Amino acid sequence: MISTWVDREQGIIASASGTPQLLESRLNGQPVLTFDSGDFFRVAVEDNPLDNAESFAVAVVFATSSDNLFGTDGNWFFNSGIVDANAFGLAKDWGISISREGRLAAGVGTPATTVYSSANRLNDGQAHVAILTQSDGEIALYADGEKSHQSGANADARDARVIKFGSGGSPFDGWISDIQLFRGRMDEDQAGELSTTLLNRFLASAIILRAEVSFRL
């Protein structure tokens, strides 16, 4: 069991709940954290690096082969949360999740606006990259570099909320290897470059934007 996960940019601590495990050399030689139902990491409200951010991006490398994921085609917070700052009710929150069918979802509130990946069955045990971006009322989800987007989202600054890794509205069952959070606008070219870098190496060493927070193993 690993009790804390510390980001490499600002030293922000994510504290474990349950018994997440550290496994070495799993995804392309990179370590992973394993999550089972009830396992997650928690970044405290006061440490949320996206507090009051109007434009932001979140990237995560994950893998799952689970048949016990949650959700269908509703709002993102009904699915298995991968990286999530959801607060049920009227909140300017956000999150990335995966449905029972293995479709990625990402969204913001309020009102809740959710976009799904066109690809499904991403619960195939392989490494995948999900990136959520928000800017000027548009949210975009990049699933392994493939963009889906939705206009008309709430463009207000985000609320300070607890951020969970490996949970959200429902728990996630799988592996997470890398999480990066960015303040500011990430455009399509930057998201594509980051997706490619993470898919190739799972360690973004040559990206255009500097992550505000980077949880790497």
Burial of 85: CB neighbours in 10 Å, binned 0-12, 13-18, 19+: buried
Is the model's pLDDT at 88 over the cut of 90? Answer: no
Q: Three-state DSSP class for 87?
A: coil
Cα angle 207, 211, 214 (rounded to 5 degrees) comes to 110
pLDDT value, residue 207: 41
Token pair listed for 10? 């600002």
Tokens at 54, concatenated: 């109007």
Sequence ranges of the domains in the chain: 4-216
Q: For 168-214, how does the pLDDT look when each residue is reduced to its tens digit (9 = 90+)?
A: 989 999 999 999 999 999 999 999 999 999 998 764 443 445 566 77
Helices (H) and strands (E) in the chain, counts: 1, 16
CATH code: domain 4-216 is 2.60.120.200
Q: What is the pTM of this model?
A: 0.91
DSSP per-residue string spanning 125-153? SS-EEEEEEEETTEEEEEETTEEEEEES-
Q: What is the pLDDT of residue 202?
A: 64
Q: How far apart are CA 149 and CA 162, in angstroms?
A: 25
